[in-house]
A and B are shown apart, each in its own frame.
Chain A
Amino acid sequence: MSRAAAPPTKITSHSSCMISQDTDIRGDIAFDEGTIVHPKSSILALGGAISFGKNCIIEEGVIIVNRGKDTMKIGDSNHFMVGCRIESPSIGEWNTFQPRSTCSSGVIISDNCTLSAGTTLLHSLSSSASTSESMETLPPCTVIYGSNSDRRVWDGTGQKAGRNLREKHLEYLREIIPKYNRIRPNT
């Protein structure tokens, strides 16, 4: 299968980013301050560009794809864990995508959401048929869980501790990643 000429790769990154050499990065991609990309992840801007906010963590085996024409905006402090697949056109702040969670291109994710391990987030069909064509926005603090990918709302307990953990995690990764992995030179 041959695709119409893919856009040339152009990586714009802040000087404090750490992007491993052993990653598959294609298309126009911008990383803001402090984002860490582990080896063996794929970030593919096949259509429009992808822009990352501050302090995101992208672990190994993560696939982030933008097939649409518009820029895919990813907010600050998101954590993409091992093997998750993201096609959502817009993502807010402080979301957690646990191992092997999948997020389809029909859903916009707001803030503080969690996709548990092995879940798939699709456009919910329960909403009226007339709006099923349009984008769905996942409300803040939604948790997707279990084998049927059910939804519930998080009451926000332990938010401060969770954020503290995320910050310390980043801080430690910044110290340890460059010791064992090759980092892409800044462009």
Chain B
Amino acid sequence: MGAFDPIMTYEKGTYIETDTGNKVSRKATITGATNIILGGKSIIQTGSILRGDLKRSTAGQHVVISMGRYCLIGEGSVVRPPGKLYKGAFTFYPVRISDFVHIGSNCIIEAAQIGSGVEIGKNCIIGKFVIVKDLAVILPDTVLPEGAVVPSMSLWGGNPGKLIGTLPETYQETMEKKCKTYYQQFRPA
């Protein structure tokens, strides 16, 4: 993805742009918006679902979904916190997504943590409590089972997801550039 790529346009008014530069589709379903933090310059596309209402069982304010800068949640993707029993009571755990994370269209994300510079292809299913470390690529149509850990600089694919290869050392710059360009190309018509 470079500076000469065609721009992706959306009809003005279909996305809400916040002060910090987040672009959120009006047709995205966001429940419990008070429990969701967007870092800025992130894009949430049409038809995606963010479940901020599924919070921890203890009293008080909790962040349910936190996202860094230059993130993308593709069309029709679902981000929901994972839940399990803790000391005999059921509770949900927060989803932490770092900077420069691209999530393709129609993914189901129930991960506990997604590191920076991670790219998740379309139609992926990321199981409960999965940890994806910084700079990993998950190919389209991958299914990662519950509790999987994806190490840094690795390439994963298949059902069930397996380690396929490694990434070049320059990948961090590549991914950061890609996310920044995507954000700049994605603008109203």
Contacts and interface: CB of A to CB of B under 8 A. Distances in A.
A100 B84 CA distance: 20
Please classify the interface of chain A as helix (H, G, I), strand (E, B), loop, or mixed, using the class held by over half of its residues: loop
A176 B108 contact: no
B31 A169 contact: no
B85 A39 contact: no
Interface stretch (B6-14, B49-57, B65-73, B171-179): B49-57
A165 B134 CA distance: 31
Contacts of B57: 172
Interface stretch (A29-37, A43-51, A63-71, A177-185): A177-185
A163 to B, nearest CB: 12
A100 B108 contact: yes
A40 interface: yes
B108 A40 contact: no
A135 B18 CA distance: 54
A100 B125 contact: yes
B40 interface: no
Interface residues of A, number: 25
Contact of B127 (A83, A117, A172, A181): A117
B143 A117 contact: yes
Q: How large is the interface on B (under 10, 10 to 19, 20 to 34, 35 or more residues)?
A: 20 to 34
B90 A22 contact: no
A155 to B, nearest CB: 19
Contact of B31 (A61, A164, A168, A181): A181
Contacts of A164: 85
Contact of B29 (A22, A146, A179): A22
Contacts of B52: 180
Contacts of B141: 118
Contact of B49 (A60, A100, A117, A181): A60
Interface in B69-93: 78, 80, 83-85, 88-92
Nearest to B83: A169
Given A61-B78, A165-B85, A181 B159 contact: no
10 contacts: A61-B108, A99-B110, A99-B127, A117-B108, A117-B127, A117-B143, A118-B159, A147-B159, A172-B90, A176-B53
Interface of B: 29, 31-32, 49, 51-55, 57, 78, 80, 83-85, 88-92, 108, 110, 125, 127, 141, 143, 145, 158-160
Given A118-B159, A172-B57, 6 more contacts: A82-B110, A117-B127, A146-B160, A147-B159, A147-B160, A168-B85
